[in-house]
Structure 1
Amino acid sequence: MQNHLPVSTASARNIALSQSQSFALPLLFTVFGMIMGSWAGRIPAMAQRVHVSHSALSMILLCGGLGAVLSYPISSRMMGSLGARKTMLVSGMALLAVLIAIGAAPTVPLLMMAVLSLGITASTFDVAVNSAATRREKQTGKPELSKLHGLGCAGGLVGATLGSLMASLHIAPATHFVMLAGPLALALYFGYSLLDATDAGEAVEKKSLSLPRGPLLFLGAIGFLGAMAEGSIADWSGVFLKAHFGASDGLAPLALSAFSVMMLLARLVGDKLKARHGARPLVTSGSMLGAAGLFFAVLSPNAYFALFGFAVAGMGMALVFPFVFSAAGAQGPAALAGVASMAYSGSLMGPPVIGAIAQGLGMQVAIAYIGVLAALIAFVASRSRLLK
């Protein structure tokens, strides 16, 4: 004789499970954003500690891009043996350890090794958390990636703001990261424990290195270009305001704030827009809007008009990442790993490329180049069959 739960009890448990699921992924995306925002916010302090020039800093950042490219065999093997849920936990804890190592690295070679590890662990975590999110999208039939990436953006803003506060208090990056690692590790484990994702391995190709092919190559190219543009704006928009308009130290960082806040707001409504209009027209038109905003910033008569241009760019480019990752995840974890590797390499390779252009041709040309990247995203997106 089998015992069955009363209908009311089973229903209550289902509701509780659904509520925990609706909380787990947002928490994990927010934690990831805080980690990456904290790293980005302390780059100047870490560069100053090891006494590197701008060109040497570019080489350090390139190590992160190389790590992202090399992460594919690691992420695919971990997904194949552990599944998305355990991969998130292992790579997330490793990412926190790497963050502390970056803060404590006393020499340039050790900092380069730590940043290389950052690229590997961050890309692996990103593949796992987006895989779990796209699986949930399939189960529920509702788009969620835009909102989740919006929460990641919010976490990045919190991390960068906290980094600015720590810098103003003259707290060393290593101390800052140690203080941050404990609470974020607890939050990561809490999100992991709530997540209802199978621990069974995902079927993936076992290749040492793989780039997306066929229709997936379009998604990888969009992710790469989008990440180049977004990462470059994060690192160079404030420098542009200061160098070109003579903006104050208080005004210059508002370029990134304007870009990020509008990106966050757009991502919070992106899922509803996708359900109504589809991903391809939104990515295409949004990227064109982003390009227009960046060109407006370049041609602006003063810093305040340029702030408006960066805000428009943030609104226009907000939906590139969520919809590309959603489309790639729908093709399976191997596809997502390949596209994510390209995207992460773009995010970490973009800033040093823009720095080289700025050094040779000036900041106006460098920001205009980011506008060209945005226009190129629109062109590639308009021809992508997998963006639906």
Structure 2
Amino acid sequence: MPLRNKITNRTPVAPTPADPLAPSASRTSSPTGWPAARLALTGFFALDGFLFAGWVVRIPEIKAQVHASPGLLGLALLCVSAGAVLVMTPVGRLCLRFGNQVVTVGAMAFLCAAVALPAQAHSVVALGGVLLLFGAGYGAVNVGVNSAAVDYIAGVGRPVMPAFHAAYSLGGLLGATVGGLLAQVLSPAQYLGLLSVGGLAVTAWAGTVLLRRPLVPAAVRRPEVDAPSDAAGPGRAGVPGPLLLVLLLGVVALCDAYGEGALADWGTLHLTEDLHVSPGVAAAGFAAYSLAMTAGRVSGTRLVELFGPTRVMVTGGLVAGAGMLVAALAPWLPLVLAGFLLVGIGLSNIFPLAIDRAGALDGPKGVATASMLGYGGMVLGPPIIGFLAQGLGLPTALVSVALLAALAAAAALAVQRATSSRHRRGSAA
């Protein structure tokens, strides 16, 4: 979610005119003080990734603490996903009622408090309960902060959503690194407690900045959200309505998250079992994939300004699909690693752009719907890969990632064409 991109007062580069999903070049440049708002949002995205990674690296110790078998631990971990999915739609409604900034700050404070709870559990049942709360905080933050980012993008007229998600990725990398280094020094309770206190301090600072002023000036309107009720209703004369387009964007996010989850859980296993490399080489391969994804997101804003979001998503899906075919089927390690790099670069901007477009079409409700579908892909991906691998072998199972990446490209193209039709009909009316 780039950390270093600086908002300037120059007129933003006009996106490709043929892409109606691209931000309007007529929007105003950032007002005085808005770089602070961007920094605060970047801090929230980075803190989200940092907190989640901080919990993940202490899972083995907490597993031993609660005496959980692998099966019971899997059920407890499922509570994180369950909690996130359960709150996403209600949180979207809260954003509409109280504002995206207020919900973002409150949700992050809740997540900071919840991250300390897993280390206090001493049974599998208790761990499942606190992970349900942790997942609820994580899901609420993702809806709130992405909705606030959509507002910010509407105000500055630059497609910086990939930059925010790059901050999330960098926060996760930093959280995993710091957590690993301190694993021998601090107990899980001590480390997660420090995360909680430090996270609340960052939330207090970033929240104060974020709540000072509206992210969308009154003069800025997003036509997709602010359109009259007759244009925002169900599709007419064969033109899809916003809900169908949001669902299509949710499919795009789902396909992307399916690939991310599959690579995270099965990528290193593919290298060790099918390519017979050492665990160290396998870890380096996954690190290369992660760094490629981060680099793709850092450069995502500029790519969207040059080519438009639809072209970036479609090209990304095709690149990721080709890379996954190479990584899954090639017998030579350098080719497999090159495939992983292509997958990381290809997938990097699909999810953030899908969430941004859903928010442009239907506000926080759109963000919640697309996020829920996307998160479902991350949850379903690893077990589906495991089921397919049992019957067909892991390399063949990983081909499903390539197929869904191609589906993401097709769905993004369908949204672009449908939105073009809506704009043409709106202009004719």
- Which residue among 117, 127, 130 is the counterpart of 1:101? 117
For 1:217 and 1:96, locate their aligned partners in 2 and report how far apart those are by CA, in whole Å.
Answer: 31
Residue in 1 that maps onto 2:300: 270
- The 8 Å contact of residues 69 and 344 in structure 1, kept in 2 or not, is answered as yes
Residue in 2 that maps onto 1:380: 411
Moved more, 320-329 or 378-387: 378-387
- The TM-score, its normalising length taken from structure 1, stands at 0.85
Residue in 2 that maps onto 1:5: none
Task: Let me know the Cα RMSD of the aligned residues.
Answer: 2.6
Post-superposition offset of 1:105: 2.4
CA pair 121-267 structure 1, distance change in 2 beyond 3 A: same
Residue in 2 that maps onto 1:11: none
- The 8 Å contact of residues 91 and 125 in structure 1, kept in 2 or not, is answered as yes
For 1:293 and 1:47, locate their aligned partners in 2 and report how far apart those are by CA, in whole Å.
Answer: 35
For 1:244 and 1:237, locate their aligned partners in 2 and report how far apart those are by CA, in whole Å.
Answer: 10
- Which residue among 284, 297, 311 is the counterpart of 1:281? 311
Q: Secondary structure of 1:176's match?
A: helix
Residue in 1 that maps onto 2:278: 248
Residue in 2 that maps onto 1:336: 367
For 2:393 and 2:65, locate their aligned partners in 1 and report how far apart those are by CA, in whole Å.
Answer: 27
- The 8 Å contact of residues 92 and 144 in structure 2, kept in 1 or not, is answered as no
Counterparts of 1:114-129 in structure 2, within 5 Å, are 114-129=130-145
Residue in 1 that maps onto 2:251: 221
Residue in 2 that maps onto 1:315: 345
Gaps of 5+ in 2: 1-30, 217-224, 227-241, 421-429
Q: Secondary structure of 1:252's match?
A: helix
Counterparts of 1:192-203 in structure 2, within 5 Å, are 192-195=207-210, 196-198=212-214
Counterparts of 1:174-193 in structure 2, within 5 Å, are 174-193=189-208
For 1:58 and 1:372, locate their aligned partners in 2 and report how far apart those are by CA, in whole Å.
Answer: 27
For 1:314 and 1:34, locate their aligned partners in 2 and report how far apart those are by CA, in whole Å.
Answer: 20
Residue in 2 that maps onto 1:371: 402
For 1:241 and 1:71, locate their aligned partners in 2 and report how far apart those are by CA, in whole Å.
Answer: 36
CA pair 91-55 structure 1, distance change in 2 beyond 3 A: same
For residues 217-253 of structure 1, give each alpha carbon's deviation from its aligned partner in whole angstroms, at most 9, with x where no partner exists: 1011111221122122122212222222333232222
Post-superposition offset of 1:287: 1.0
Structure 1 residue 39 corresponds to structure 2 residue 70: no
% identical aligned pairs: 30
- The 8 Å contact of residues 119 and 344 in structure 1, kept in 2 or not, is answered as no
For 1:32 and 1:173, locate their aligned partners in 2 and report how far apart those are by CA, in whole Å.
Answer: 18
Post-superposition offset of 1:48: 4.5
Residue in 2 that maps onto 1:155: 171
Gaps of 5+ in 1: 1-13, 204-211
Q: Structure 1 segments of 4 or more deviating over 6 A? A: none
- Which residue among 283, 290, 303 is the counterpart of 2:320? 290
Residue in 2 that maps onto 1:306: 336
Moved more, 20-29 or 358-367: 358-367
CA pair 297-54 structure 1, distance change in 2 beyond 3 A: farther
Counterparts of 1:42-121 in structure 2, within 5 Å, are 42-121=58-137
Residue in 1 that maps onto 2:378: 347
Moved more, 90-99 or 145-154: 90-99
Q: Secondary structure of 1:251's match?
A: helix
Q: Which residue identity lines up with residue 116 of structure 1 in the other structure?
A: L
CA pair 268-351 structure 1, distance change in 2 beyond 3 A: same
For 2:318 and 2:65, locate their aligned partners in 1 and report how far apart those are by CA, in whole Å.
Answer: 40
For 1:226 and 1:387, locate their aligned partners in 2 and report how far apart those are by CA, in whole Å.
Answer: 21
- The TM-score, its normalising length taken from structure 2, stands at 0.77
For residues 83-106 of structure 1, give each alpha carbon's deviation from its aligned partner in whole angstroms, at most 9, with x where no partner exists: 212211221121122222223322
- Which residue among 341, 356, 362 is the counterpart of 1:326? 356
CA pair 327-116 structure 1, distance change in 2 beyond 3 A: same
Q: Which residue identity lines up with residue 95 of structure 1 in the other structure?
A: L
Q: Secondary structure of 2:415's match?
A: coil
How many positions carry a matched residue from both structures? 364
Q: Which residue identity lines up with residue 334 of structure 1 in the other structure?
A: K
For 2:148 and 2:397, locate their aligned partners in 1 and report how far apart those are by CA, in whole Å.
Answer: 37
For 1:35 and 1:305, locate their aligned partners in 2 and report how far apart those are by CA, in whole Å.
Answer: 34
Q: Which residue identity lines up with residue 350 of structure 1 in the other structure?
A: G
CA pair 296-40 structure 1, distance change in 2 beyond 3 A: farther
- The 8 Å contact of residues 88 and 143 in structure 2, kept in 1 or not, is answered as no
- Which residue among 18, 25, 34 is the counterpart of 2:41? 25
- The 8 Å contact of residues 86 and 199 in structure 1, kept in 2 or not, is answered as no
Structure 1 residue 259 corresponds to structure 2 residue 289: yes
Post-superposition offset of 1:197: 4.7
Q: Secondary structure of 1:384's match?
A: helix
For residues 33-67 of structure 1, give each alpha carbon's deviation from its aligned partner in whole angstroms, at most 9, with x where no partner exists: 11122233334444454454554444334333322
- The 8 Å contact of residues 263 and 315 in structure 1, kept in 2 or not, is answered as yes
